[in-house]
Amino acid sequence: MGKTREKNLTIPCVKKILEELGEENLDQFQRRVLDYASKFSKVDAKTAEMLVEKLVGEYGLDEAEAVQIVNCMPSSVEELRVFLGGGRKIIEASKLEAMVKLLNEHRLK
């Protein structure tokens, strides 16, 4: 059996992958996942990838943290802190505010 690779995906990226497969080619479980992803995507897939890259590259977050932040798109510093290790990770308030501003600029209306 071959090796399996694991990758963190944002909800918008999952939506894009399933849409590209075509709904007629999806099984029942995949259709449910597509329905969920359609309802809960807060940005498009391209924007989600860009946001994850910025959160990892510019702000030093782990990829898993960045993916969860993009999936939930917190709109305040208090909400953002929930995703940052329960206080184990100390990040300057100005960086947190900049992250929230970045997310708010790209949020779907």
Q: Is residue 21 situated within a structural domain? A: yes
Cβ proximity of 80 and 69 under 8 Å: yes
Q: Answer whether residue 54 shows pLDDT above 70.
A: yes
67: nearest Cα among 78, 79, 56 = 56
Q: How many domains does the chain have?
A: 2
Rounded-to-integer distance, Cα 95 and Cα 42, Å: 22
Q: Are residues 64 and 78 in the same domain?
A: yes
pTM of the model: 0.87
Say if 81 falls within a structural domain.
yes
Instruction: Say what the alpha-carbon torsion angle 71, 55, 108, 85 is, to the nearest 10 degrees.
Output: 40
> Residue 27 sits in which domain range?
11-40
C-alpha 66/C-alpha 51 separation (Å) is 8
- In this prediction, residue 73 carries a pLDDT of 96
Do residues 35 and 49 both lie within one domain?
no
